[in-house]
Amino acid sequence: MATEDGRQTGPFDKLLESYLLWMIDELPASQAKALQDMTPKIAEALGHRSSSWQEIVKAEVGFTDDDVEELRSMWRRTLDKNSEMRHLVDPHVWVERVIATNN
């Protein structure tokens, strides 16, 4: 699968995208429920014992609580900045850019 910029993504990239969307309150409830139901399989595949898919992704990426808060702050600043210019922000595009910038 490829992103808008043509970058190839794998299963973990999709999980990371979901985590970032969840973190900024933009993950659809149905997708969050599906990931919650898949947590045992995700934990087994990645060798984790965490009780939530969010904790598994956070550990796998190595995010600290400070990293998570900084990303949330970045999202809020992006929303505020674009609101002033009357632009809508697509959370999926923002997440893709965050991932691309940090790969």
Is residue 3 included in any domain, yes or no? Answer: no
Is residue 68 included in any domain, yes or no? Answer: yes
Is residue 54 included in any domain, yes or no? Answer: yes
Calculated CA dihedral for residues 28, 66, 47, 42, nearest 10 degrees: 0
> pLDDT tens for residues 45-82?
999 887 899 999 999 999 999 999 999 999 999 999 88
Structural domain span for residue 40: 11-101
How many domains is the chain built from? 1
pTM of the model: 0.84
Is residue 4 included in any domain, yes or no? Answer: no
Is residue 69 included in any domain, yes or no? Answer: yes
Q: Which residues contact 73 (CB under 8 A, 6 or more apart)?
A: none
Is residue 51 included in any domain, yes or no? Answer: yes
